Chains A and B, each alone.
Chain A
Amino acid sequence: MTANSHTHHEPSYLEVKPRKGIWNWLLSTDHKRIGLLYLYSILIFFAVGALLGLSMKLELIAPGETIMGAQTYNGFFTLHGIIMIFLIVIPGLPAVFGNFFLPLMIGADDVAFPKLNLLSWYIYILGALIAISSQFMGSGPPDTGWTFYAPYSFQTNTNMLPAVTGAFVLGFSSILTGLNFIVTMHRMRAPGMNWMKMPLFPWTLYGTAWIQILATPIVGITLLMIVAERLFQIGFFDPALGGDPILYQHLFWIYSHPAVYIMILPAMGAISEVIPVFARKTIFGYKALIISTMAIAFVGYFVWGHHMFTSGMSGEALVSFSLLTFLVAIPSAIKVFNWISTIYKGAIHLEPPFYWALSFIFVFMIGGLSGLVLGSLATNVHVHDTNFVVAHFHYIVFGGTGFAFMAALHYWFPKIWGRMYDKAWANIGWLTFFIGFNALYFPMFYLGIIGMPRRYYDYLPEYHGPNILSSLGAIVMIAGLLIIITNLVRSTKSGEKAEADPWNGKTLEWKTTSPPPLENFDKQPVVDKGPYEY
């Protein structure tokens, strides 16, 4: 099949409307519509999370009370964390682009279990509602931070239980999505697409799915223990009952650290799709990229202790966790080398998705390299629980996952909606966002190094300067975001019609019309070469 072989016009998935109005969305088992359901829900949650973040930054623009009181601030950073981590970056790329593009990229007509796929979305919404309800039940919104550390989270009597239940239900939704993807990849690849011809985004989804399935049950176990402790007074975590709060931290991070890789692996996958296309060149080190994905997924399991270097583990444990943390940096470095080598001797087309991908590499390097400071024992002790950590994980989670999400959105936009956005505005939005992002988070590294702890509502005057820059950065970044979103939203309706393969991509999703028909392909595609052969 070649790109423009469609002479007759099959109705696109957006034109197939067997039901009335909104039910075409809420009851559709089409993986593409489900992907968009996730996209819209995530965008709504993101708007809330970003507003919370912005108001926190405005609060910190000057010492003392600026726009809100301490209780509100503490509630804000808790909700900001819950929304951003559990509702957005964990489902993030797999739920949106995985759903939409995995079947297309492997030449399938849907995922293996379409109904289960829709159910996963409902479970996601249920989990989100439970997590959000924790704001309204009990004596007030939780103010414990998204980590819910014991025993503070027990003492404040705010709503730890619904929040952790929410996290578990959300995790369950991703387990089901993960299972669905694994089966889809095992059973439904197009004829001729053996594993070593599968594109890299599906590969990262594969690694991620396994982490989801193996790590999420830990949240369930933790939840059961909390319930047992609250109801039957069995002391697990609460020192008042003879429990150990550090055990809680272990369980929390055994899940939440792999979760970081759940967030970043698909992001790396998306970048591995974008870079070859705009360099018009096959990916450098296809196998190395796959092996490094699997290595990250595997080693990522054994490094959770680096969140707890000051909590009082044994010296041996500290040394092992530190060493393993350093080792997990290597496969990430390998990926960066391979991406940059892919650009070497390419024929570079500077388009918006490519700017996002290049800036992804830049911010991801900063995030990863600052992770080395945190993995090393001596330096960790100094910067742990300071603004340095906040900067680090925003560079990884927001810089990494967020920039990759934007790269993916700008890359696949014409395929999803069959229209092209305004590229000039896309570039302006990108540049504004990029500048704002770095102005916002880079000063926080410095604040951490000079000793400003995190989750501080107020600070000493010596920390004022960098905080001003950071807060101004937040404003610029949000402005960039508004430009980007406005441009994209307008273009879904009024953008120029897009061709089947506007970027000259080689993977299978470009071999069908934009937007694709309900069944994805008119004729079953057959694969006889690697995914990025130019």
Chain B
Amino acid sequence: MYQGISNYSEGVDTAFMVILGISFAFLIGLTVTMIYFVIRYNKKRHPKATQIKGSTALEIVWTVVPTILVLVMFYFGWSGWRPMHDIPEDAMKVKSIARMWKFSFEYENGKTSEKLYIPKGEPVVLDLISRDVIHSLYIPAFRVKEDMVPGRTKQMWFQANKTGSFDLFCAEYCGLRHSYMTTTVEVLPQEEFKSWIADTTGVATAEGEEAKPGTAGKQIIERLGCVSCHSLDGTKLVGPTFKNLWGKTEMVTTDGDERQITVDKEYIKRSIYQPNVDIVEGYREGQMVSYKEELSDADIDAIVEFLKTIDEEE
């Protein structure tokens, strides 16, 4: 397996070895004994059973021995886990944000990314934030996992000791595209990481350098993961596609009543701030969460500008 990739590998893998070792010894030992008894004392070989009611000495032995063994296993489990619990003070911090169905990472200098970039050999603390439901950040190769609970700010930390690219999964079931809520951790050599983090071109709010209209809006939509529910090319995902949305007339349900609307700025804004007020025909309520906290009026304008561009293209 992934020997020694993170600072926990050794502790966790030792606990695995101890527990699995004892378990297999028991399983094989007892199964063989059982099968031996069944063959040896088959009625053909042993027609008359010897009645034995029990043995206090044996009961004591097989209470005490397993007790010692489970305490040993408990100890290894505890000692492998303890470092996870002691979060270092002065480590590099990355804000990790989960929402249906996308992770995003924000570094101390404001840079954001979809993959988690970290330097090798340096402790990293992740602030775990969920914007909607419970998610769980799981990096199998590092042997770490911690739930991301809305309404709570939690932390986890680790240190990668090998460079490379490792899977990062959402482990807590979070709805339709749960199994696609995956990304990777990219562990870079320290120098490479330094230059990566220093390079802030293309950082989220690309103010001033708007190449063509809608670029800013497009970046917002990609950064916040709107595109995991809303396609840009007309495919129907969890939510309606953004293609040709601007100016369209469609049916929505408001408070249980069907009505017809035309997609304008007001409507877009309401859809983003209070997504469950108007439900588009053919889609489910409650899938989209409000982005009121994250998107300002200016951001909404930018999104609208972008929506206009993918209307014009056809």
Is residue B308 contacting chain A, with contact meaning CB distance below 8 A?
A: no
B289 at the interface (CB under 8 A from A): yes
Asked if A424 is at the interface of the complex by the 8 Å CB criterion, the answer is: no
Partner of B38 from the list A287, A288, A350, A449 (CB cut-off 8 Å) is A350
The contact string, 1 if C-beta is below 8 Å from chain B, for chain A 126-142, is 00000000000001100
Contacts of B196 in A (CB 8 A): none
Residue A220 at the chain B interface, CB threshold 8 Å: no
Cβ contacts under 8 Å, A534 to chain B: 49, 51
- Chain A residues with CB below 8 A from B70, complex form: 326-327, 329-330, 372
Per-residue interface assignment for chain B, residues 123 to 146, with 1 indicating a CB less than 8 Å from any chain A CB and 0 otherwise: 000000000111010101101111
Q: Is A13 an interface residue (CB 8 A)?
A: no
- Taking a contact as CB atoms under 8 Å apart, the answer to whether A378 and B174 are in contact is no
A347 and B53 in contact (CB under 8 A), knowing A155-B286, A239-B150, A370-B23?
A: no
Q: Tell me whether A450 and B38 are in contact (CB under 8 A).
A: no
A224-257 vs B, CB cutoff 8 Å, 1 = contact: the mask equals 0000000000000001001111100000000000
Residues of B within 8 A of A71 (CB): 176
Q: Which residue on chain A has the smallest CB distance to residue B48?
A: A347
Q: Judge whether B152 is part of the interface by a CB distance below 8 angstroms.
A: yes
C-alpha gap A326/B98 in the complex (Å)? 33
Q: Do the beta carbons of B173 and A145 come within 8 Å of each other?
A: yes
**Cross-chain contact A152 with B175 (CB below 8 angstroms):** yes
Q: Is the CB of A70 closer than 8 A to any CB of chain B? A: yes
**Central interface residue in A152, A242, A322, A385, by most chain B CB within 10 Å:** A152
Q: Residues 45-77 of chain B: 1 if any A CB is under 8 Å from the residue's CB, otherwise 0?
A: 011111111110011001100110011011011
Q: Is the CB of A345 within 8 A of B52?
A: yes
B203 near A: Cβ within 8 Å? no
**Contact status B285-A157, CB under 8 Å:** yes
The answer to whether B151 has its CB under 8 Å from any CB of chain A is: yes
A158–B166 alpha-carbon span in the complex (Å): 35
CB-based contact A381/B143 at 8 Å: yes
- List A contacts of B27 (CB < 8 A): 365-366, 369
Identify the closest chain B residue to A329 (Cβ).
Answer: B70
Interface: A497 (CB within 8 A) = no
Minimum C-beta distance from A56 to chain B (A): 13
Binds A, one of B9-17, B225-233, B261-269: B9-17
Cβ contacts under 8 Å, A145 to chain B:
173
Query: Which residues of A lie under 8 Å from residue B180 when comparing CB positions?
Result: 458
A209 interfacial by beta-carbon distance below 8 Å: no
A346 at the B interface (CB under 8 A)? yes
Residue with the greatest number of chain B CB neighbours at <10 A, chosen from A139, A288, A336: A288
A residues less than 8 Å from B172 (CB atoms): 149, 385
| Interface contact B78-A330, CB-CB below 8 Å | no
The CA-CA distance from A346 to B50 in the complex, in Å, is: 6
Would you give the 0/1 interface string for A369-386, flagging 1 where the beta carbon is closer than 8 Å to chain B? 110110111111110111
Complex CA gap A245/B1 in Å reads 35
- CB-CB under 8 A for A381 and B133, given A70-B177, A453-B169: no
CB of A18 within 8 Å of the partner chain: no
When the two chains form their complex, are residues A460 and B167 in contact, meaning their CB atoms are under 8 A apart?
yes
Within 8 A of A (CB), among B79-96: 79-81, 84-85
CB distance from A332 to the nearest CB of B (A): 9
Contact B143 A349 (CB under 8 A): no
- Contact flag A365-B30 (CB < 8 Å), given A74-B176, A378-B81: yes
B179 on the A face (CB < 8 A): yes
Q: Which of B1-31 contact A (CB under 8 A)?
A: 1, 8, 11-12, 15-16, 19-20, 22-23, 26-27, 30-31
Q: For A281, give its contact among B12, B42, B50, B78 (CB under 8 Å).
A: B50
B258 to chain A, nearest CB (A): 15
Rounded to whole angstroms, the CA-CA distance of A71 and B283 in the bound complex is: 13
Closest to B25 in A: A369
- Bound form: Cα–Cα A337–B64 in Å: 13
Contact B289 A378 (CB under 8 A): no
On whether A362 and B31 interact (CB within 8 A), knowing A140-B284, A319-B78, the answer reads yes
In the complex, A454 Cα to B38 Cα: how many Å? 38
Alpha-carbon gap, A310 to B171, bound state (A): 10
Does A341 belong to the interface (CB within 8 Å)? Answer: yes
B219 at the interface (CB under 8 A from A): no
Q: Are B38 and A343 in contact (CB under 8 A)?
A: yes
Bound Cα distance A385, B138 (Å): 10
Given A310-B136, A345-B49, A385-B136, A330 and B63 touching (CB < 8 A)?
yes
Residues 144-179 of B, flagged 1 when their CB comes within 8 A of A and 0 if not, give 111101111010000000000001011111111111
Q: Which residues of B contact A242 (CB under 8 A)?
A: 151
Known A329-B66, A347-B48, A358-B34; judge A245-B175 contact (CB<8 A). Answer: no
Interface magnitude class on chain B: 35 or more
Known: A279-B41, A365-B30. A381 touches B54 (CB 8 A): no
Q: Is B287 at the interface (CB under 8 A from chain A)?
A: yes
A378 touches B80 (CB 8 A): yes
Instruction: List A contacts of B1 (CB < 8 A).
Output: 449-450
A380 to B43, CA, bound (A): 44
Any B CB within 8 A of the CB of A302: no
Give the residue name and chain of the A residue nearest to B178 (CB): A455
Distance of A323 Cα from B71 Cα, bound (Å): 8
Given contacts A285-B59, A341-B58, contact A310 B179 (CB under 8 A): no
Q: Is the CB of A326 within 8 A of B173?
A: no
Question: Within 8 Å of chain B (Cβ to Cβ): is A311?
Answer: yes
B154: chain A residues within 8 A (beta carbon) = 312
- The answer to whether B136 and A326 touch across the interface, beta carbons within 8 angstroms, is no
State whether A378 touches B41 (Cβ < 8 A): no
| Complex alpha-carbon distance, A337 and B66, angstroms | 11
B33: Cβ under 8 A from any A Cβ: yes
The answer to the question of A348 belonging to the interface, with a C-beta cut-off of 8 Å to chain B, is yes
Task: Evaluate contact between B152 and A312: CB separation under 8 angstroms.
Answer: yes
Question: What's the minimum C-beta distance from B264 to chain A, rounded to whole angstroms?
Answer: 27
Q: Which of A285, A318, A533 contacts B54 (CB 8 A)?
A: A285
A454 CA to B173 CA in the complex, in Å?
8
Of B38, B81, B173, B289, which contacts A155 at CB under 8 A? B289
A341 to B30 CA separation, bound complex (whole angstroms):
10
Q: State whether A156 and B62 are in contact (beta carbons under 8 Å apart), knowing that A343-B41, A348-B46, A358-B38 are contacts in the complex.
A: no
Min Cβ gap B280→A in Å is: 13
Q: Does the CB pair A245–B134 fall under 8 Å?
A: yes
Chain B: CB-nearest residue to A289: B54
Pick from B59, B149, B176: contact of A143, CB under 8 Å: B176
- Write the nearest CB–CB distance from A25 to chain B, whole angstroms: 40
Q: Which residues of A contact B62 (CB under 8 A)?
A: 333-334, 337
12 residue pairs A–B, Cβ–Cβ below 8 Å: A152-B175, A242-B151, A280-B49, A288-B54, A319-B78, A375-B74, A376-B15, A376-B19, A382-B144, A451-B138, A455-B179, A457-B178
Top 9 closest pairs, chain A to chain B, by CB: A451-B140, A376-B77, A378-B80, A239-B151, A377-B81, A369-B23, A456-B179, A152-B133, A157-B286
A contact set with B: CB distance below 8 Å: 70-71, 74, 139-140, 143-145, 149, 151-152, 155-157, 239, 242-246, 279-282, 284-288, 310-312, 315, 318-319, 322-323, 326-327, 329-330, 333-334, 336-338, 340-341, 343-350, 358, 361-362, 365-366, 369-370, 372-373, 375-382, 384-386, 449-451, 453-460, 533-534
4 more A-B contacts (CB under 8 A) besides A333-B66, A385-B173? A239-B151, A348-B43, A375-B77, A455-B178
